[in-house]
Structure 1
Amino acid sequence: MAVQQRRERERADRHRLIVKAARELAEAEGWGAVTTRRLAERVEYSQPVLYSHFKGKSAIVAAVAVEGFAELATALRQARAPHHAPRAALLALTDTYLDFAREQPALYAAMFVHEIDVEFGSEATPEPLKAAFGEFLGAIEPLAAARGDDRETFAEVLWSALHGLATLTEGSRMRPHEHRARVDLLLDMAVSGA
């Protein structure tokens, strides 16, 4: 039993090492630089060892994305927890989300831009994704109830708007000096009617 547990622990350690190396390489050089050959060199394992953990690059990107959702959920929870007023909680969530996207563009791309084999919005959705979405639900709950809106739809629309802001900002497609005005307008729209 001890030998089997050691092997499982070593396998889990290799898995984490591969995901960590992929994240670091993607943040430094972009996802185009992340290849199984480069990862194998970086983690000092052969490519067959990498393939014993992941079917290919897309599976590695998916693992990075799921890890990112866990981190995002934690960040959103910590940001909104101290705020009891709905607008203040929503502002904290919004700023944290946009900061997360700006500070970790490769991770954000793995989560929201790259095609990954991860289900969203279903029973098969991984728990970290559900937790991140749950933070949006928690932030908009009182607003959706006051407006009579479906809370999941409200959260999806808000998340979509934030994703658009994050993506367009990253692509330098918006006037940087108007960032706060855009966020304030989005929040005003979300709170109106509440």
Structure 2
Amino acid sequence: MPRVLTESDVADFRERMCAAAERLFAEKGPDAVTMRQLAAELGVSPMTPYRYFQDKDDILAAVRTNGFTRFAKALEAARDSVQGARAKGAAVGDAYVRFAFENPHTYKLMFDLNQPIDDTHDDLAEAGRRARETMTAWVKDQIETGDMRGDSKEIGTMFWAATHGVVVLEMAGKLPPGSALAMHHRMSQALAKGLATKG
């Protein structure tokens, strides 16, 4: 008879499983990883993960939830670390690029998968929403100060697309190492100039 699991037991195993799954998903791709492989990675029986997760998609959603949450916290901390709307925007952009290259496997699992961020996994949907808000909050700051004009969500998406593009290009070896950050700066300045309300 399996022992009764405490909340701490469950949280600890889920955390260890997510760490192992992130490594395997990054190395092989989620489709190539089995629940048996995930169990073997932790040295437990093939059925043990099912006590903590419904299936592999549930594990992948948990891994991505953790990633989006860490990403949002990094961007929120960057925004809070400086004063002034423009400085906040610059800090958030730099934090975005820094997070991507410090956590490349996590970043790819967050953004390069077809797994939907919907009400199938509530925690993932909430983490994804929070991450999107962190990419828009600094735009709202600049609209409120009159430095920028337009729809904050649309503008945030434009900056996100541009930043994601240079990050992925460098990760794929299409840009020289370390060049994504410099290019991000130049693109952000050009976009901001086009959206500026002042000369």
Per the normalisation by structure 1, the TM-score is: 0.81
Superposition deviation, residue 118 in structure 1: 2.2
Q: Which moved more, 1:80-89 or 1:162-171?
A: 80-89
Give the aligned partner of residue 74 of structure 1. 73
Task: Flag the structure with higher helix content.
Answer: 1
Structure 1 residues 34 and 125: alpha-carbon distance in aligned structure 2, compared to 1, 3 A threshold: closer
Give the aligned partner of residue 165 of structure 2. 164
RMSD over equivalenced CA pairs, Å:
2.7
Structure 1 residues 124 and 60: alpha-carbon distance in aligned structure 2, compared to 1, 3 A threshold: closer
Structure 1 residues 45 and 102: alpha-carbon distance in aligned structure 2, compared to 1, 3 A threshold: same
C-alpha separation in 2, matches of 1:18 and 1:81: 32
Which runs of 5 or more structure 1 residues have no equivalent in the other structure? none
C-alpha separation in 1, matches of 2:176 and 2:128: 31
Could you tell me which amino acid in structure 1 is paired with residue 87 of structure 2? A
Give CA-to-partner distance per residue, 1:77-112, whole Å, 9 cap, x none: 111212222222222111111111112111111100
Give the aligned partner of residue 149 of structure 1. 150
C-alpha separation in 2, matches of 1:7 and 1:132: 30
Could you tell me which amino acid in structure 1 is paired with residue 192 of structure 2? V
Superposition deviation, residue 185 in structure 1: 1.8
Which runs of 5 or more structure 2 residues have no equivalent in the other structure? none
Provide the identity percentage.
Answer: 27
Give the aligned partner of residue 114 of structure 1. 113
Could you tell me which amino acid in structure 2 is paired with residue 184 of structure 1? H
C-alpha separation in 2, matches of 1:125 and 1:58: 12
Structure 1 residues 143 and 126: alpha-carbon distance in aligned structure 2, compared to 1, 3 A threshold: same
C-alpha separation in 2, matches of 1:107 and 1:184: 23
SS at match of 2:47: helix
C-alpha separation in 2, matches of 1:152 and 1:9: 39
Give the aligned partner of residue 183 of structure 2. 182
Using CA pairs below 8 Å that are at least 6 residues apart, which structure has the higher relative contact order? 1
Q: Which moved more, 1:124-133 or 1:92-101?
A: 124-133
SS at match of 1:115: coil
Give CA-to-partner distance per residue, 1:34-93, whole Å, 9 cap, x none: 432222012222222223433433332221111011101111111121222222222211
Could you tell me which amino acid in structure 2 is paired with residue 159 of structure 1? W
Structure 1 residues 88-103: aligned runs within 5 Å: 88-103=87-102
Cα contact 2:65–2:124 (8 A) shared by 1 = no
Per the normalisation by structure 2, the TM-score is: 0.79
C-alpha separation in 1, matches of 2:72 and 2:140: 16
Within the candidate set 28, 31, 36, 2:29 is matched to 31
SS at match of 2:173: coil
